[in-house]
Amino acid sequence: MSRKLLVLGLVFVLLVGLMPAASSAQEVITLRYMSFTGGGDRADEVDAIIAAFEEENPTINIEPANAPFGDYFTMLQADFVGGDPPDVFELNYENFVAYAANDVLLDLTPYVDPTIPYYPRALGAFQYEGKQFALPETFSTVLLFYNKELFDQAGIDYPAPDWTWDDTLEAALKIRALGDDIWGIYSPIQFWEFYKRAAQNGCAFFNEDQTEALVNAPECVEALEVMVGLMESGAMPTPAEQAGISDSELFLNGQLGMVVTGIWWFPAYQEATFDWDVQLEPGMKQKAYHFFSNGIAVAKNTEYPEEAALWAQFMTSSETAVSVRLAADWELPTLDRPDLFASYLEQTPPDNREAVFASLEEPVPPPVIARQSEMQDIFDELLNAVIAGELDPATALDMAKEEIDLLLK
């Protein structure tokens, strides 16, 4: 009798002992998270945010992976095609449309906490056909970077927020005159720069319902002419004159007076041996500034939609996420929280970090269509022909319109 009891007792203990294990084994789920911003130095920051999330949500385990930007989208695509995509992943604004259009993203509308102060424009950027298919994670902009010492040498005032491109050209020519190896300005002549300049001149890329491209309107042509004018004046190097040295390299070498480039270069430009600062870009008829945004989306067929959406929300809006980002000077969260940005503004160089937020007043997001790569390639080709002097801006934009209209069908 006692033997039976002993056995029963053991069995009971075993069952009791196994049960929590069994139930917790059922409860802890693993989500795969893929990004293109979380590599290299940033991996530690991602891990910190994940740790905070896992502490708040002990039943969820996040497995991060990263790929460099250049390869990220081909890899993400491959994962989707192979039927095994990550549960949660980063998307930039330009690629968002294609993924949403192909119906592979989870509609996050039912999962999002409406009290989170996302910038309305940023939220809107990641909606498709009225549904929220991704949450805005970070934003970045483009500013005018300038070399204070070169400006001093040329005896001209630093760029002001109300400058036009004419003012800029004047300054650029004076700096160019400082030496054979010194250039006044670099502002790339390609798709990304063009649509913003067009917006600065009041020209819209597409019509209201995106069935027609309007890129050959007179305002757009004028914008392109101003862009090319910088190069034709001699203040900006032609590709052959640049001979493969990048604009950033030229700037860091002290050979470039002004460069229009993204705020993601802040960390790299810390290495400069001269004083530099940033300013809002010049405008034409009006001001318009680049608005680039990354978002986080969830795969439509994920096994754990609720948990995945929870993580997406955490990564984009939690206190931890925001503070980690700002402390590491790692892109800016798309949240309307001026209190949080105080620390960011205090870091130098550059001194004029307020310009980053000022540029949010007149943002112009990239024009995006489903056949994005083709559109960009078309533009690059035609713009390169303009740079080479083979096509004049008006003809080039006429040709662009024709081809893009075909892509829109």
Partner 1 sequence: MSQTNQHIPGATSLALDRAIELLAQGVQYLLLIILALTMLVPFAWMVSTSLKTEEYVLRFDLIPQPASLDSYRELFDIMPMGRVFLNSLFVTVTGTVGQVLFSAMAAYAFARMQWKGRGVVFSIYLATMMVPFQVVVIPQFVLVSKLGWVNSYQALILPSLFSAFATFLLRQAFLTIPRDLEEAAIMDGANHLTIFWRVMVPLSKPVLATLTVFSFMSMWNSYLWPLFVARQEKYMTLPVALATLQGNNQSLTQWNLVMAGAVITLLPILIVYLFAQKWFVQGAVISGIKG
Partner 2 sequence: MNAMIGERGIRRWGWVLFFLMPSLLGLLVFIVGPVFLSLGLTLFEWNLLSDPKFVGLDNFRELYHDTRFWTAFQHTLIYIVLYVPTVFVTAFLVALLLNRPLRGRAAFRMAFYVPVVSSWVAVAMIWRWIFNPRYGLLNFLLGQIGVGGPDWLFDPDTALYAIVIASVWKDAGFSAVLFLAGLQNIPDTYHEAAQIDGANPLQRLRHITIPLITPTAFFVLITTLIGSFQVFDQAWLMPEPFARRGATVIVQQIVNNAFRYQRMGYAAAMSWVLFLIIFVVTLIQIRWQKRWVHYDL
Tell me the sheet residues that pair with 289. Answer: 363
Kindly state whether residue 254 participates in binding partner 1, applying the rule CB under 8 A: no
CB 95, min distance to partner 1, A:
16
333: cis peptide before it, omega within 30°? Answer: no
Q: According to CB under 8 A, which one of 55, 103, 339, 361 is a site residue for partner 2?
A: 103
What single letter denotes the amino acid at residue 77? Q
Q: How far apart are CA 22 and CA 371, in angstroms?
A: 48
**Among partner 2, partner 1, none, residue 188 binds (CB under 5-8 Å by kind):** partner 1
The closest alpha carbon to 178, from 150, 149, 147, belongs to: 150
- Is 179 near partner 2 (CB under 8 A)? no
Closest CA to 297 of 114, 112, 118, 43: 112
Stretch 76-105 residues interacting with partner 1 (CB under 8 A): 78-79, 81-84
Q: How far apart are CA 401 and CA 205, in angstroms?
A: 10
Q: Which does 241 bind (CB under 5 to 8 A by kind): partner 1, partner 2, none?
A: partner 2
The single residue among 30, 246, 286, 301 that binds partner 1, judged by CB under 8 A, is 246
287, two tokens: 């001001």
Closest CB 34 distance from partner 2, rounded Å: 16
Among 1, 21, 25, 240, binds partner 2 (CB under 8 A): 240
First to last CA, the chain: 84
Q: Which of residues 337-396 bind partner 2 (CB under 8 A)?
A: 371, 373-374, 377, 380-381, 384-385, 387-388, 390
Closest to partner 1 by CB, 80 vs 139, is 80
Side chain identity at 82, as an amino acid letter? G
Is residue 244 within the footprint of partner 2 (CB under 8 A)? yes
Residue of 33, 53, 80, 126 that binds partner 2 (CB under 8 A): 80
Residue 207 binds partner 1, judged by CB under 8 A: no
Query: Which 44-73 residues touch partner 1, going by CB under 8 A?
Result: 67-68, 70-71
In degrees, rounded to 5, the angle at the alpha carbon of residue 190 between the alpha carbons of residues 189 and 194 is 85
Q: How far is the CB of 242 from partner 2 (least distance, A)?
A: 8
Please state, in angstroms and rounded to a whole number, the distance separating the CA atoms of residues 400 and 383: 9
Q: How far is the CB of 81 from partner 1 (least distance, A)?
A: 4
Measuring CA to CA, which residue among 169, 285, 143, 144 is closest to residue 220?
Answer: 285
